[in-house]
Structure 1
């Protein structure tokens, strides 16, 4: 595993998910402590679950304070930014675009860190562990964020989200014998970003079973 590539995407994912976590906390009217907690939980939660499943103990986030410090700084910056430009009906679409942009970048970045962590283990099937760790890292923090905010996790019902991470990780792992880890990581990043934004733009959703009752 290329350590520099892992660190780059880890920092990108941490910043992006800290922003999305802070925005959700503000929308739920939490105070500054709650905003920091939700930002940090979103940013490092998925990675901690990934590390435990990969047998990396203690988790990286507990050994290196960089991710936590980034999350705290981002939470404070977002809170100050909201003070000057609060959410309103007039700028609702703008903030939604900002949220989706950061959330998607975090999704793609953490898919890569999880996938690279799985590939570095060299255990069992060369696809199952990297793909699953990629998806878990990508969506784990968001699930914890939504649960803490008393919301149904978006990954369970909204848009093409975890599917984008799954698709990007699977295709990229299939290329591991034909390219280096850096190229493979950027391919994954582009695939996840492209699929997620396409789903948002075109309104793609997964199948939702619905009963079709006919009254007589």
Structure 2
């Protein structure tokens, strides 16, 4: 679910930047598997799982091809820009929550020392790493650094679910994390929540 969702978001950024179909596929792949590859390298899993299993690659490439076809066939038009943004945000949020969970599971399976630090950090890195690579390739500032409640939603969901993991078990932890991340992200989009942006005081 996360792979397909992030592949859609990567493909839509590529289309917005007017890339050709190769660029669309590259950005879809980067967004879908980039964060997981960074996670595996940091966790000492080499080669990364993605490079040993073709499923994620095929899913991302097929998704990118489908998005490209739908756009060129007129299913997605310039008039439907609001629907495009809506679809992008839904896919990006689902991917954010899903990959936060997979990163946490990797951290829990490699528990060493602090029981929270590794799962939480790997969860956040898995969730936002692909999006950062996507934005760098698209020559724009990574959204995670300035817009909305994004990485913060992943961080809060991972931390709370990790703290409650001993009491609710693995399935409960995964679902709790998913609900928290999706809830925070959609609430931020709906209500226009943002983190504090330091600004100079002009009235001094």
The reply to whether TM is greater than 0.5 is yes
Q: TM-score, length-normalised on structure 2?
A: 0.98
The one-character-per-residue Cα deviations of 1:23-57 (angstroms, maximum 9, x if unpaired) are 00000000000000000000000000000001100
1:164 is aligned to 2:164:
no
Quote the residue 2:31 is aligned against: 42
Quote the residue 2:88 is aligned against: 99
Quote the residue 1:4 is aligned against: none
Q: CA deviation at 1:154?
A: 0.1
Quote the residue 1:139 is aligned against: 128
Q: CA deviation at 1:213?
A: 2.0
The one-character-per-residue Cα deviations of 1:155-180 (angstroms, maximum 9, x if unpaired) are 00000000000000000001111022
Quote the residue 1:191 is aligned against: 180
The one-character-per-residue Cα deviations of 1:105-164 (angstroms, maximum 9, x if unpaired) are 000000000001000112110000000000000000000000000010000000000000
Aligned residues: 203
Quote the residue 1:85 is aligned against: 75
The gaps in structure 1 that reach 5 residues or longer are 1-11
Quote the residue 1:24 is aligned against: 13
Q: After the TM superposition, which segments of 4 or more aligned residues of structure 1 sit over 4 Å from their partners? A: none
Q: TM-score, length-normalised on structure 1?
A: 0.92
* CA distance in 2: counterparts of 1:100 and 1:187, whole angstroms: 20
* CA distance in 1: counterparts of 2:173 and 2:202, whole angstroms: 48
Quote the residue 1:8 is aligned against: none
Q: CA deviation at 1:59?
A: 0.1
* CA distance in 2: counterparts of 1:35 and 1:154, whole angstroms: 18
Q: CA RMSD in A?
A: 1.0
The one-character-per-residue Cα deviations of 1:60-98 (angstroms, maximum 9, x if unpaired) are 00000100000100000000010123441x311111000
The gaps in structure 2 that reach 5 residues or longer are none
